[in-house]
């Protein structure tokens, strides 16, 4: 691997490295994200943040909000594989935004990156609602990624307010137990009339568990078929992309 950019900011050391055709972001030794325009789904945790979007009807994902941009790989997945009108990314770290712009190709007309505290931004937001909200708010402790906050009933309620009636919420958790622990908080936060349809996404090589909180009934087999369709132009990427696991989450 070759280091093409690096910077020290306080105790944090940032690096952008290339590995073949891939661009990777590291912060304080933590591998944050990777993008390869020839292989949009690279088998990383960021894939799990994109995949639940394929549960939604084709053409229905027009506006996407990403809380926690990192390098921006998941945003590139949406702009590359789906016909989105707008992706808004909220990121506290200005160096992450610099990397996203300069090295991950996010200088795109349908992408808006905002430097802000995502929690405060969510509380203050009054604009148009989104078809998908992705919450990926992590920091580093002792070289390991950890969630910034607990997914409480109050936090779920705030995120629901950002969604269109048929919108989907996607949240990255450190492990499956952390997702299961949100059952009561999520059910208590559900707006009246919203369906309870939840799925857990994981990869065999990562401990993370991504929760997909949907407003529609969904079938994992249909999702896998849709994935093959969106990757039709990337035949060498299909095998890697299908290695994820998905299961329905129940309240007990």
Alpha helices in 4-70, H assignment, sequence order? 45-50
Bridge partners, 14 (sequence order): 7, 27
Q: Residue 71 contacts by C-beta under 8 Å, 6 or more apart in sequence?
A: 16, 23, 24, 25, 32, 33, 34, 35, 96, 99, 100, 103, 104
pLDDT at site 252: 58
Per-residue pLDDT tens listing for the chain (252 residues): 799 999 999 989 999 999 999 999 998 888 889 999 999 999 999 999 999 999 999 999 999 999 999 999 999 999 999 999 999 999 999 999 999 999 999 999 999 999 999 999 999 999 999 999 999 999 878 778 899 999 999 999 999 999 999 999 999 999 999 999 999 999 999 998 888 999 999 999 999 999 999 999 999 999 999 999 999 999 999 999 999 999 999 875
Quick one: pLDDT at residue 106? 97
The Cα 10–Cα 88 span in angstroms is: 28
Distance CA 97, CA 102 (A): 9
Model confidence pTM above 0.85: yes
What is the structure's pLDDT at 21? 94
Instruction: Give start and end residues of each alpha helix (H) in the chain.
Output: 45-50, 73-81, 94-102, 118-124, 153-160, 176-180, 183-189, 220-230, 238-241
pLDDT computed for residue 135 by the predictor: 98
Show the tokens assigned to 139. 């920091």
Q: Domains of the chain (ranges plus CATH)?
A: 40-248 (3.40.50.150)
pLDDT of residue 30: 82
Q: Which two tokens stand for residue 28?
A: 């304080």
Q: What pLDDT, on a 0 to 100 scale, did the predictor assign at position 28?
A: 83
């Amino acid at each position: 691997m070759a280091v093409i950019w690096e910077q020290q900011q306080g105790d944090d050391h940032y690096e952008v490295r290339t590995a073949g055709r891939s661009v990777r972001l590291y912060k304080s030794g933590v591998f944050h994200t990777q993008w390869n325009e020839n292989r949009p789904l690279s088998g990383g945790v960021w894939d799990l943040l994109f995949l639940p979007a394929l549960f939604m009807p084709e053409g229905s994902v027009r506006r996407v909000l990403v809380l926690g941009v990192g390098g921006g790989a998941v945003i590139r997945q949406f702009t590359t594989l789906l016909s989105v009108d707008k992706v808004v990314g909220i990121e506290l770290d200005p160096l992450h935004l610099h990397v996203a712009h300069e090295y991950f190709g996010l200088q795109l007309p349908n992408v808006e990156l905002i430097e802000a505290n995502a929690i405060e931004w969510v509380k203050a937001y009054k604009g148009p609602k989104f078809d998908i909200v992705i919450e990926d708010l992590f920091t580093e402790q002792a070289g390991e990624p950890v969630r910034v906050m607990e997914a409480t009933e109050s936090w779920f309620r705030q995120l629901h307010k950002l969604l269109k009636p048929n919108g989907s919420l996607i949240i990255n958790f450190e492990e499956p137990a952390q997702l299961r622990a949100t059952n009561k908080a999520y059910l208590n936060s559900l707006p009246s009339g919203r369906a309870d349809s939840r799925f857990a996404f994981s990869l065999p090589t990562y401990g993370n568990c991504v929760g997909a909180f949907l407003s529609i009934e969904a079938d994992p087999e249909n999702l896998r078929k849709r994935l093959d369709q969106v990757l039709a132009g990337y035949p060498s990427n299909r095998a890697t992309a299908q290695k994820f696991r998905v299961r329905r989450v129940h309240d007990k």
